[in-house]
A and B are shown apart, each in its own frame.
Chain A
Amino acid sequence: MQAVTSRQTSPASRILWVAIAIVGAFCLGVVALRRGEPINAIWLVAASIAIFVIGYRYYGKFVEHSVLRLDPTRAPPSVLRNDGLDYVPTDKWVVFGHHFAAIAGAGPLVGPVLAAQMGYLPGTIWILFGVVFAGAVQDFMILGLSLRRDARSLGHMLRQELGPLPGIVAMIGVLVLMMIVLAVLALVVVKALTHSPWGTFTVACTIPIALLMGGYLRWFRPGRILEVSIIGLVLLLASIWFGKIVYDTPALATLFDFDAKALAWLLIAYGFCASVLPVWLLLAPRDYLSTFLKIGTIALLALAIFLSAPMLQMPAVTKFIDGSGPVFSGNLFPFLFITIACGAVSGWHSIIASGTTPKLLANEGQARLVGYGGMLMEAFVAIMALVAAASLHPGVYFAMNSPGAIIGTTVQDAATTISQWGFVVTPDELIQTAKNIGENTILSRAGGAPTLAVGMAQLLHNILPGGGMMAFWYHYAILFEALFILTTVDAGTRVGRFMIQEIAGLIHKPLQETASWTGNLLATAICVFLWGYFLYQGAVDPLGGINTLWPLFGIANQMLAAIALMLATVVVVTLKRERFVWVPGIPALWLIVCTLTAGYEKLVGPISFTAAASKYSAALQQGQLLAPAKSTAAMQQIVTNNYVDMALTGLFMALIVAMVLFSLRALIKAWQTNHPTAHEEPYVALSSVAG
C-alpha cells in the first residue's frame, strides 16, 4: 500500500528533488574538480547535505519498501510489550534524538582527522558513499530486523538466524572489540593531556564536579537532571577559566604536568575506582554532563563552520595516498576504509540499533527516520570533523599528528621535516600556535582530539574574536572530548565487568553475584587490566600509540559491521527476497575484503606488527637500543607488545573467516529452501492493540 502511494509524487516535489540533485552535483563537482587553489568548506558541506537528503529520500526509501518491507499497520514491540519503562511507544523525534545521542561519540571525530593526511577528498568520498550504501543501510536494517523480533539484541538474532556457535563467536568479537575501543579512546585522552597542565587540571576537575552533582541529585534535589547539569556546566566553564591560572603559575603547573606513562596509570586507577563506586556518585552525573555537552558542542561546531566558512588549506589529495604517511601507515586501500569507521560505517551501531531504540519506536514507518537518518547525522559530524582538520595549516596538522620518531622532538626538526614533505611551515608558526592555545608544545599530539580542538578553536575564534579566547576554546574542546571519552571508559568497564562476572560464574557460581565485593573487584580488575594493557602499550609505543592501535580498532569495528551486514544478507535470503541480496551483501563483501586485506598487511610485510617486532628483536640481539626505548627491558616490552598485536589481528581475521563460513552455510541452505524461513514474530495489526 505504502509503496503504491509513495510513487504518486507531485510535480512540485519532483522539481524540488531535481533542484537538490543539481545543486548537490554542482557542489560535488567543485569539490572534486577544482585543483591547485583552496576551496571553501561550504562547497563540501553543501555537497554532503545534498547527498544525504537524496540518499535518505531515494535509497533509504528503497531499502524500507523493497528490502525490509516495513509495514506501518503492524504493531511494533513497544506496543506489544508496553511496560511503561523499557518498551514505550515514543514520539519519533524523541527517539531520533535519543538514538543519535547514543551512536554519536568520539569515533566520527577522530577517524576523519587522522584520514586527513591523505587530503580531504578521499575521506569525504568514503564518508558520503560509505554512509549511504553501507553505514546507514546497516543501522537501518538491523533496526528493522530487531523490530520484527521483539526488539532482540544483535547477539540474540545471530544465534537465532545463524546458530548458537556463530552467536558465541560474534560475542567474543564484541568483548575484544570493546577492550580495544576503551584502550584507544583512553589513549586519545592521554595524548591530549601529556605535559598539558591546563588540560589536565580541567579534566581532573570533572571528578569533584561530578561527585558534587551526584550528591546533589541523591540528597538535595533528587531526579532534577537538567538543573544539576546546568550547575555542572557552569562549574566546568569556571574550571577552564581557572585552568589558565594554573598554567600561568609554575608552582601549580608542575602539579598537573604528567608524561604519557603517568597519565596512563592515572587513567587505569581512575577507571577501576569509577566502575566500582555506586553509579549515582560518579558515573551517572558525568554521563548527564557529557551527553548534553556532546550535543551542544556538535551544534556549536556546525554553527562555527557555517558562520566562519573556512577555506580548506589541506590539498584535496596529498602524496601520502601511497602509504608513506606519518599519521598512520598503509595505502589508501584498505587503510582509509579502516581508519574512518564511525561516520561511514560502524559496527557498534548495530548493538544500539538492536538495543533501546527498537523498544521505543511507535511505528515501523518511523524506522527510516531513526535508523537511516540517525546515521546520516553521524556522517555529517564526521564531515565537520574533516573540515575542521582540513581548514588547519597543513604544516600544523602534520606537526600535531606525526610521531616524534618521524618528525623529531624540537620545533626546528619538525618544521624542517614537514617542510621537506612540501607543507612549508616555520618553527615560529608552530611555537605561535602552541602559545595561542595555551600549551607548551603542539608536536606529536596524535589522536584527533587536539587537532579537532585547534581547528574548532580557530573557527570559533574567527566568529568570536577576543584576546586569549582561542586558548579557552581549545581547552573547552579538549574537555568536551575527554569528558565523554572518560564516561565511555567508565561505562564500558562496568559492562565488561558484568560480562566477565557472567563468564566467571560458570566456573564458580558465587562470583556471578554483582553485589558480591570479591566478584566485583576481581572482575573489574581483570577488565581494567585488559584495556589498561593496551593503553600502557600505546603510551610507550615507538610510534606514539595511535599509529599502532587505531588500525586494530578500525579492523575490529569494521569486523563487527561486516558481521551485522552478513546477518542482514542472510535474513534477506531466508525471507526469499534474493533479488535484493546485494543491498546488504555488497557492503558486507567490501568490509570483509577491507578488514582481511588490512589484517594481512598488519601481519606480513613492511608495515606489519611482525616487521616491527623483528626490527626491535634484531637490535636487541646486537645489544643496540632503538628510540624511544631506554633499556633492554623496554626493548623487550616493545617486542612483546607487537607480538600481542599480531595475535589479536590474527584473532580478528579468524573471527571474520569463521563468520563468513557460517553465513555462507546459512545462505546456501536458505537459497535451496523454497519458502521463507526467517524467525520473524507473527503479524499483529496495530489497530487491534492500540488505544
Chain B
Amino acid sequence: MKATLQALRKWAVQTARLCCGVPDYDVYLQHLREHHPERKLPSYEEFFRERQEARYKGGGGRCC
C-alpha cells in the first residue's frame, strides 16, 4: 500500500514537472555519470534555470 502511494506520488511529481518543461533531474545526473563522466554535475538550481530558459526558446509546444 505504502509502496503504491509512493509510486503514485513519484508519478504525479514527475508528470507535473514535465508539464512545466522540467525533466527528471536524477535521470539527467545518471545520464551524465554514465556517458559524460568528465562534465561537472549541475546543481538542481542550475539545471532548473537552464530548462526554464530552454522551454521558451521557440517551437510550438502548446495548444489553442
A9-29 vs B, CB cutoff 8 Å, 1 = contact: the mask equals: 000000000000000000000
Asked, given contacts A107-B63, A284-B55, A346-B63, whether A292 binds B14 with beta carbons under 8 Å apart, the answer is no
Cα distance, A4 to B18, chains bound together (Å) = 35
Residues A106 and B64 in contact, CB atoms below 8 Å apart: yes
Kindly state the interface size class of chain B when it binds its partner: 35 or more
CB distance from A434 to the nearest CB of B (A): 29
Residues B61 and A102 in contact, CB atoms below 8 Å apart: yes
**CB-defined contacts of A341 to chain B, threshold 8 Å:** 64
Q: Which of B20, B23, B27, B62 contacts A491 (CB 8 A)?
A: B62
Cα distance, A539 to B63, chains bound together (Å) = 23
**CB-defined contacts of A291 to chain B, threshold 8 Å:** 16, 19-20
B22-56 vs A, CB cutoff 8 Å, 1 = contact: the mask equals: 11100110111001000000001101110111111
A271-308 vs B, CB cutoff 8 Å, 1 = contact: the mask equals: 00000000110011001100110010000000000000
A91-122 vs B, CB cutoff 8 Å, 1 = contact: the mask equals: 10110011001111111000000000000000
Cβ-based interface call for A90 (8 A): yes
Q: Which of A98, A494, A498, A557 contacts B19 (CB 8 A)?
A: A98
**CB-defined contacts of B13 to chain A, threshold 8 Å:** 226
Residues A488 and B31 in contact, CB atoms below 8 Å apart: no
Chain A interface mostly = helix
**CB-defined contacts of B2 to chain A, threshold 8 Å:** none
Residues A94 and B20 in contact, CB atoms below 8 Å apart: no
Asked, given contacts A223-B45, A283-B56, A498-B57, whether A82 binds B31 with beta carbons under 8 Å apart, the answer is yes
Cβ-based interface call for A67 (8 A): no
Q: From A107, which residue of chain B is reached at the shortest CB distance?
A: B64
Residues B11 and A93 in contact, CB atoms below 8 Å apart: yes
Q: Which of B16, B49, B56, B57 contacts A292 (CB 8 A)?
A: B16
Within 8 A of B (CB), among A200-219: none
Please name the 7 residue pairs, one residue from A and one from B, whose CB atoms are nearest each other, closest first.
A84-B31, A223-B48, A107-B64, A97-B15, A351-B60, A222-B45, A84-B28
| A-to-B contact residues, CB < 8 Å | 82-86, 88, 90-91, 93-94, 97-98, 101-107, 153, 174, 181, 185, 222-223, 225-226, 279-280, 283-284, 287-288, 291-292, 295, 341-342, 346, 348-349, 351-352, 355-356, 360, 488, 491-492, 494-495, 498-499, 553, 557
| B-to-A contact residues, CB < 8 Å | 11, 13-20, 22-24, 27-28, 30-32, 35, 44-45, 47-49, 51-64
